Amino acid sequence: DVKVTQSSRYLVKRTGEKVFLECVQDMDHENMFWYRQDPGLGLRLIYFSYDVKMKEKGDIPEGYSVSREKKERFSLILESASTNQTSMYLCASSLRLNRDRNYEQYFGPGTRLTVT
Partner 1 sequence: GDSVTQMEGPVTLSEEAFLTINCTYTATGYPSLFWYVQYPGEGLQLLLKATKADDKGSNKGFEATYRKETTSFHLEKGSVQVSDSAVYFCALISAGGTSYGKLTFGQGTILTVHP
Question: Would you tell me which residues interact with partner 1 (CB under 8 A)?
Answer: 4, 30-31, 33, 42-43, 45, 48, 50, 56, 90, 92, 94, 96-97, 101-110
Q: Which 8-state DSSP code applies to residue 80?
A: S
Nearest approach, Cβ of 91 to partner 1 (angstroms)? Answer: 8
Closer CB to partner 1, 38 or 79, in the complex: 38
Nearest approach, Cβ of 47 to partner 1 (angstroms)? Answer: 12
Residues 72, 19 contacting (CB under 8 angstroms): no
The C-alpha atoms of residue 98 and residue 39 are separated, in whole angstroms, by: 33
Nearest approach, Cβ of 87 to partner 1 (angstroms)? Answer: 13
Residues 52, 69 contacting (CB under 8 angstroms): yes
Nearest approach, Cβ of 15 to partner 1 (angstroms)? Answer: 25
Contacts for 72 with CB less than 8 Å, ≥ 6 apart:
24, 25, 26, 28
Closer CB to partner 1, 70 or 96, in the complex: 96
